[in-house]
Amino acid sequence: MPRHSLLALALLLSACSHEPTEPNSDSSRATVLPATAQPSPPTASTPAQIEGSLAAPAPAHAMQPPSVPSPPPAPSPSAIPMPMPMPAAPIALEASAAQRAPSAKWVAPRPMLDNRMPMPPLLPAPAEDRETYQTLRDNPIVQTAANPVSTFSIDVDTGSYSNVRRFLSAGTLPPVDAVRVEELINYFRYDDPAPTNGQPFAVRTELAPTPWNNDSLLLRVGIAGRDIATADLPPANLVFLVDVSGSMDSPDKLPLLQSSLKLLVRQLRAKDRITLVSYAGNTAVVLPPTPGDQQGRIIEAIDSLQSGGSTAGASGIELAYRAAQQAYLRGGINRILLATDGDFNVGVTDFDQLKGMVAEKRRSGVALSTLGFGTGNYNDTLMEQLADAGDGAYAYIDSALEARKVLTHELGATLATIARDVKIQVEFNPDTVKEYRLIGYENRALQREDFNNDQVDAGEIGAGHTVTALYEITPTDGHASVDPLRYANTATPRKVRAIDSELAHVKLRYKLPDAQRSQLLDTVVRSNQRRALNATSDAFRFSAAVAGFGQRLRGGSQLHGWDYPQVRALAAASLGSDRFGYRADFLQMVQQADALSSRPIATTD
């Protein structure tokens, strides 16, 4: 062997006999552990091993990520650099195939996401990301010469008011689209003259300076429905349609719903019939038609309801209408009360399909009203629109006190309809009124020709309901908000006529509950009806204050700086008869809104 080869062999043997040295700590030199040195994957456990290791898992909050097995010792650090650390394995939320062996008594550990805070108290701060509201744009100022006629459907819903109260009570201003001004105004009963001569309602008009604008007048159109005592109501066939899905598992949802329905049950008579239908992933008739004097049986059925599962709302509505038809009372009250948070997520969930289904079902003579509950995932749009399509009314129940108002104090208005498809049309005189603006009713607008078309649906008035519509009008001698037309025909002189003292012609159309043809009521508003603001009725001044409050919550673009302190002062001076304290409660809401006015408004994006 050549000498240089022997020398190389000797050097190699000498290197192999050296002691190991400390590895280089430079992380830039680390490489991935070769595949031959990786730890082998664990083998599947036997059922017995699963039972022993997983039968009593640690609670979710105590679970630690599984440790990574250390690699085997390297034969030579100089040949194998330090490996990079492996990431922690995620916590499995489902059992593996081996863990699901039939003979294993495996208890799945709760995932980390289930380690929630304790249940919040009743009426928590509203969540802002999942509540649904219809986008509304305030009614514009209209030039009378260009469009003298305003037509809309009446609205007796009150859900917006109590929903706004819920936001304020939770310490935040409501989203703008949660505020429907007409629902705030019509939350209250007004002391307008009762109807006479067998009419279902009476109409009253008042005119005074606008509290927030010295250049305009405020016209109030007040409607007072005929009241009916609870004992004198026709026999009632009522179907309670209750959402018992998992989303109703909250103190302000199913438990409040149950206590609310029991308030109504205590008003029932032997001639009334109650059916209880529930829906979640499936639907069920919990209680078949039961006489109203069997209150213990009805309350027991209500108490048996428990929440869980998905929300097949459309299937529940279908079943409720079938149940109502089976117990139909000719000449009586036939109504479904849908109680839910509106979070439909199984079956038919399309908004227009649901509305269309309810609109079709109302032809059967069964009305549908909605009672809204809860926060966070609340669907205000669906609740309001389903009630409109079903010839019913919409209320939001934020407390036991609101439940008592809707289902006890105003039970006749909630259940008994005295007039259907009630429409209002106001024609303004361009010779005396330069501009006008309807306050609220943005999603109740009708076409001019709809007023005389009995096929066009409109709102219903219940027994004892009062309805107010407010117009802000600018007289021809006032300061206009919109520039006049350059080429308008204003130069032609004409004779003064008696009609020139008229400001507006107010017309109402309505149908009696069982009628197919409408009837007409009308009245004229004259300029000599104008009174000083402090000479008007409590109804005028209080409704004006509530209108100002609603507009302020929506941004107050037409209030000319009129703010919450002025709202409160006008309301406090016109409380009138406040039997149940609702108006005093309003003063508290105004004060809360004033205190919160510097804070951001809640959003639903």
What are the strands, taking DSSP E only, across 113-189?
Answer: 142-143, 149-153
Concatenating the DSSP letter of every residue in 7-75 gives: HHHHHHHHHHTSPP-PPP--GGG--PPPGGGSPPPPPPPPHHHHHHHHSSPPPGGG--PPPPPPPPPPS
In this prediction, residues 234-240 reach a mean pLDDT of 98
Residue 128 domain flag: no
Beta-strand relationship, 273-279 and 283-291:
antiparallel
Same domain membership, residue 365 and residue 290: yes
Q: Can you give the pLDDT at residue 224?
A: 96
361 is a domain residue: yes
Is 339 inside a domain boundary? yes
Q: Where are the alpha helices (DSSP H) in 292-344?
A: 295-303, 313-326
Q: Are 336 and 390 in contact (CB under 8 A)?
A: yes
Q: 169 and 149, same structural domain?
A: yes
Distance CA 581, CA 549 (A): 18
533: helix, strand or coil? helix
The answer to whether residues 520 and 542 belong to one domain is yes
pLDDT of residue 313: 80
Give a yes or no: residue 22 inside a domain: no
Confirm whether 553 is domain-assigned: yes
Residue 442 has pLDDT above 50, yes or no: yes
Q: Which of 368, 397, 415 is the last residue in one of the domains? A: 415
Q: Is the pLDDT of residue 71 over 50?
A: no
Among the ranges given (43-47, 219-223, 418-422, 572-576), the one the predictor scored with the smallest mean pLDDT: 43-47
We report the CATH number of the domain holding residue 282 as 3.40.50.410
Residues 278 and 376 in one domain: yes
Strand-pairing partners, residue 285, are 277
Task: Give every CB contact of residue 258 below 8 A, 6+ residues apart in sequence.
Answer: 302, 303, 305
Distance CA 80, CA 71 (A): 12
292 in Cβ contact with 271 (< 8 Å)? yes
Residue 473 and residue 333 share a domain: no
Instruction: Mark whether 383 and 446 lie in a shared domain.
Output: no
pLDDT for the residue numbered 349: 61
Rounded distance between C-alpha atoms, residue 181 and residue 211, angstroms: 16
Rounded Cα distance between 469 and 471, Å, is: 7
Which has more pLDDT, 490 or 587?
Answer: 587
What gap in Å lies between CA 272 and CA 292, rounded to an integer?
Answer: 5
Residue-number span of the structural domain to which 314 is assigned: 230-415
In a domain, 463, yes or no: yes
Lowest mean pLDDT among 38-52, 166-180, 496-510, 540-554: 38-52
Are 395 and 176 within 8 A, CB to CB?
A: no
Q: Same structural domain for residues 241 and 359?
A: yes
Q: Where are the beta strands (DSSP E) in 169-261?
A: 201-210, 213-225, 236-243
Identity at 100, one-letter amino acid code: R
Domain end among 363, 387, 415: 415
Determine the Cα–Cα distance for residues 293 and 144; give it in Å rounded to an integer: 57
Where does the pLDDT of residue 25 fall: very low under 50, low under 70, confident under 90, or very high at 90 and above? very low
- On whether both 317 and 189 belong to a single domain, the answer is no
Which residue in the block uniquely carries the two structure tokens 């009963």? Answer: 189
pLDDT, mean over the chain: 82
Residue 441 in tokens: 């009713």
pLDDT at 544: 99
pLDDT average, residue stretch 449-466: 96
pLDDT of residue 60: 37
Quick one: pLDDT band at residue 4, thresholds 50, 70, 90? very low
Would you call 455 exposed, middle or buried from its count of C-beta atoms within 10 A (0-12, 13-18, 19+)? exposed
Residue 284 has pLDDT above 80, yes or no: yes
Q: What is the pLDDT of residue 603?
A: 55
Look at residue 470 and tell me if it is in a domain: yes
530 or 113: which leads in pLDDT: 530
Same domain, 425 and 519: yes
Encode 69-81: b = buried (16+ Cβ within 10 Å), e = exposed.
eeeeebeeeeebb
Flag the least confident range among 76-80, 258-262, 434-438, 525-529.
76-80
- Between CA 95 and CA 15 the distance in angstroms is 52
Residue 474 pLDDT: 97
d(CA 82, CA 75): 12
Q: Are 378 and 132 in contact (CB under 8 A)?
A: yes
Contacts of 465 by beta carbon, 8 Å cutoff, 6+ apart: 156, 223, 225, 413, 418
pTM: predicted TM-score of the whole model, two decimal places? 0.77
Rounded alpha-carbon distances, angstroms, from residue 242 to 53, 258, 300: 43, 9, 15
d(CA 547, CA 433): 21
Give 388 or 55, the one with higher predicted confidence.
388
- Whole-number Å distance between alpha carbons of 259 and 240: 13
Give alpha helix (H) positions in 110-190: 159-169, 181-185
Q: Kindly state the average pLDDT of the residues 551-561.
A: 95
CA 37 – CA 72 distance, rounded (Å): 7
Residue ending a domain, among 415, 431, 461, is 415
CATH number of the domain encompassing residue 532? 2.60.40.1230
Each residue's pLDDT tens digit, 481-505: 888 777 766 555 555 566 778 999 9
Same domain, 450 and 469: yes
d(CA 231, CA 463): 13
- Please state, in angstroms and rounded to a whole number, the distance separating the CA atoms of residues 250 and 178: 22
Whether 369 and 473 share a structural domain: no
The answer to whether residue 489 sits within a structural domain is: no
pLDDT at 345: 63
Contact 415, 486 (CB under 8 A): no
Query: How many domains does the chain contain in total?
Result: 2
Inform me whether the pLDDT recorded for 133 exceeds 80. yes
Whose structure tokens read 């979640």? 280
User: Strand pairing partners for 427?
Assistant: 149, 505
Residues 404 and 462 in one domain: no
**Over pLDDT 90: what percentage of the chain?**
67
